[in-house]
Amino acid sequence: MSDKKVRKEDGLDLLMRALGTNDGGRAIMDQESAGQQSFVSSDTLPTDLRGKEVLEAEGVKFLGPVEGDDIFQYVELPEGWKKVPTDHSMWSNLVDGAGRIWASIFYKAAFYDRSAHASARKPEDE
């Protein structure tokens, strides 16, 4: 198992960013965007996952919780599968090698209200 987990930012990270930009709202939006990028490059999915059995049937392996971060669990994705960001910083998709969406994933990386959940389903064209 790899240890590519989601990086958690805290209030101090946000404060430093806000001071640097002189824009607290922008700093929060930047934190959420950075969280999305960290998430899609990690080897995790949210622990709160509806439809887990759909992903398991396709070969997604669930390897256990991330120590110290109970909203995520480690996974091993089938060859060609990946997480891709959407145009909204709190939403990403889990796609297969053909680009079909298998799960919609929400991750709010804001330090004051951090949460994640996902919903998996077979793609429409199957």
Q: What angle do CA 29, 32, 37 make, to 5 degrees?
A: 125
- Provide DSSP, 25-54: HHHHHHHHHHHHHHHHTSSEEESSEETHHH
What is the band of 124 on the pLDDT scale with cuts at 50, 70, 90? confident
Task: Measure Cα distances from 108 to 23, 34, 81 in Å.
Answer: 19, 10, 22
What is the reported pLDDT for 75?
98
- Output the 3-class SS for 66-101: ECCEEEEEEEECCCCCEEEECCCCCEEEEECCCCCE
Domain boundaries, given as residue ranges, for the chain: 11-120
What is the reported pLDDT for 23?
62
What is the reported pLDDT for 52?
97
Confirm if 70 and 47 have CB atoms less than 8 A apart.
Answer: yes
What is the reported pLDDT for 18?
59
Q: Is the pLDDT of residue 81 over 70?
A: yes
What is the band of 68 on the pLDDT scale with cuts at 50, 70, 90? very high
Return d(Cα 22, Cα 3) in angstroms, integer.
34
